[in-house]
Amino acid sequence: MRYFIELQYDGAAYCGWQRQPAEPTVQGTIEQKLSMLLRRDTEIVGAGRTDTGVNASFYIAHFDSDVAVDCQQLAYKLNKVLPDDIAIIRIYEVEADKHARFDAKEREYTYLLTQHKAPFRRFSAWRFEVDIDVEAMNSAAAKLLEYEDFTSFAKLNSNNKTNICHITHAEWLREADGTLRFTIRADRFLRNMVRAIVGTLVDVGRGRYTVEEFEDIIRSKDLSRSSAGAPACGLFLSGVKY
């Protein structure tokens, strides 16, 4: 039997999602507690990797069990034994061939940026106290939907089989408290891609690049042309669609 786990996590204390020897990771932490509760070694498969320090406000993973699981009780017990920076929202049974990673059709990331001192955003947003042109940033973001090859925003030596991604949405919005929220959706994302895009879009907003120069960066397929990646603290995996 296969079960999906819907969860959230604050990634500040972890070296990303994926299990690593001798390093704290979200996957490794959940697997250790899940195996303890089920009394057998249990591996989980996630919807995708997140890098060191990156968060997830919505994440899906799956695990298999030879015996039926009381989903509500297991979710309750997992929340009791997991650290406070990982929360299990629910566990539910799915078809035996349903795959948390390979069946995902779309993923959504959100990035938060604040331009003023914000006590409740200090660990979950990039504090960037510089005037930026949000309209120019949105004009540049719209260009992302016109391209498929995002080599210019792909971390080197990531062993990607392809740098092709299909972006369906990319937009900055200002929330009521002044926080800038960037939302981007695609069928897949490359390692460090969203942070590199955000950093480059912010440089458009501050006048370092024009919208036309941003488009040239995409077309160049040259990572050295893009800006430094935005800080990990402001990035959230916020949606997965199946």
For the segment 43-61, what is each residue's pLDDT rounded down to a tens digit? 999 999 999 999 999 999 9
Task: Give the pLDDT confidence score for residue 156 in this predicted structure.
Answer: 72
Question: What is the average pLDDT value for the chain, to the nearest integer?
Answer: 96
Of the listed ranges 45-59, 152-166, 177-191, the one predicted with least confidence: 152-166
CATH number assigned to the domain with residue range 2-94, chosen from the 4 options 3.30.70.260, 3.30.390.30, 3.30.70.580, 3.40.1000.10: 3.30.70.580
177 noted as active-site residue: no
Half-sphere exposure of 63 (CA within 13 A, CB side): 23
C-alpha R_g of the chain? 19
Q: Does domain 106-241 correspond to CATH entry 3.40.50.150? A: no
Task: Give the pLDDT confidence score for residue 157 in this predicted structure.
Answer: 67
**pLDDT above 80: residue 229:** yes
Query: Residues of CATH 3.30.70.580 domain(s) within the chain?
Result: 2-94
Burial of 4 (0-12, 13-18, 19+ CB in 10 A): buried
- Between CA 61 and CA 32 the distance in angstroms is 14
- Catalytic residue (choose from 10, 51, 66, 84): 51
Percentage of the chain exceeding pLDDT 70:
99
Task: Give the pLDDT confidence score for residue 158 in this predicted structure.
Answer: 65
Task: Give the pLDDT confidence score for residue 5 in this predicted structure.
Answer: 98
Q: How confident is the model at residue 161 (pLDDT cuts 50, 70, 90)?
A: confident
Query: Residues of CATH 3.30.70.660 domain(s) within the chain?
Result: 106-241
